[in-house]
């Protein structure tokens, strides 16, 4: 029985917004791509509801890439697609300055956010998490010079979180692979993962980017940032905190 095909269908649906992002970057297709913005997240939502569960593993990105559509990923993919669809509809109905540029970066962040819902390995999850987090700078700073200060604050927290995350994921990934690291190293990896995803969630003491980023970003981007991209940190904790969902529930 083939189980890998559904995961590729779900990943392809999640990455379709990248096609619109490319369209927004090209003068010849910019206007058409902008008009298609409201439907960019719908294929991912349909995949979350209709595509059967499956799993595929590829020997890419050093530690390998695992593409999985399970109950946890399906729930996050469905929720994120609904939020992104609503944000995209608002962006299309309320044109902003440089609207095609805004739509393009929205689609890049959307693709990263939706695709990471299908990733269960550290390398793949980090790649799409970084795509989502780093491209959001363009959304926060979109309004121009007045918003660039907020964008710098957002990027400072984001880069710090990315550095903590990649270190924590490598440590926890090595421990999961059976490499003897010692209890101290495993605990340190868990602490790094907690701090990294805590920044994205906006945990108390790690939320300094939120009060400046949300007002600076256009409404559609702020809604997606608060409603979907931040919850990607919750998914990261469920996937990669040592002990899995049980440990995350106990921590909560």
pLDDT at 153: 94
10-residue mean pLDDT series, the chain (252 residues): 73 94 93 93 95 82 77 95 96 85 95 95 91 95 87 95 90 65 69 92 90 92 93 91 64 62
Q: Is the dihedral of CA 12, 233, 187, 248 positive or negative?
A: negative
pLDDT at 185: 65
- Residue linked to tokens 């608060």: 226
pLDDT at 3: 62
State the Cα–Cα distance between residues 63 and 68, nearest whole angstrom: 16
Angle at 19 between CA 15 and CA 25, to 5 degrees: 135
pLDDT at 250: 67
pLDDT at 229: 93
């Amino acid at each position: 029985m083939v189980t890998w095909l559904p995961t590729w269908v779900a990943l392809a649906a999640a990455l379709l917004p990248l096609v619109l992002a490319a369209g927004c970057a090209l003068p010849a297709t910019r206007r058409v791509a902008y008009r298609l913005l409201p439907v960019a997240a719908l294929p991912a939502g349909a995949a979350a509801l209709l595509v059967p569960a499956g799993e595929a593993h590829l020997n890419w990105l050093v530690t390998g890439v695992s593409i999985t559509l399970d109950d946890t990923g399906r729930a996050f993919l469905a929720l994120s697609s609904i939020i992104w669809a609503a944000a995209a509809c608002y962006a299309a109905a309320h044109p902003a300055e440089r609207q095609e540029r805004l739509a393009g970066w929205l689609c890049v962040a959307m693709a990263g956010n939706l695709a990471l819902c299908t990733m269960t390995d550290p390398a793949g999850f980090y790649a799409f998490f970084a795509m989502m987090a780093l491209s959001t700078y363009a959304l926060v700073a979109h309004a121009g010079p007045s918003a660039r200060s907020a964008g710098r604050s957002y990027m400072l927290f984001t880069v710090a979180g990315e550095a903590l995350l990649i270190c924590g994921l490598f440590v926890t990934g090595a421990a999961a692979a059976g490499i003897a690291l010692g209890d101290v190293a495993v605990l340190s990896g868990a602490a790094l993962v907690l701090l990294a995803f805590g920044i994205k969630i906006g945990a108390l003491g790690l939320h300094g980017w939120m009060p400046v980023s949300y007002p600076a970003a256009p409404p559609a981007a702020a809604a997606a940032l608060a409603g979907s991209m931040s919850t990607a940190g919750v998914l990261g904790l469920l996937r990669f905190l040592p002990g899995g969902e049980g440990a995350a529930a106990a921590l909560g």
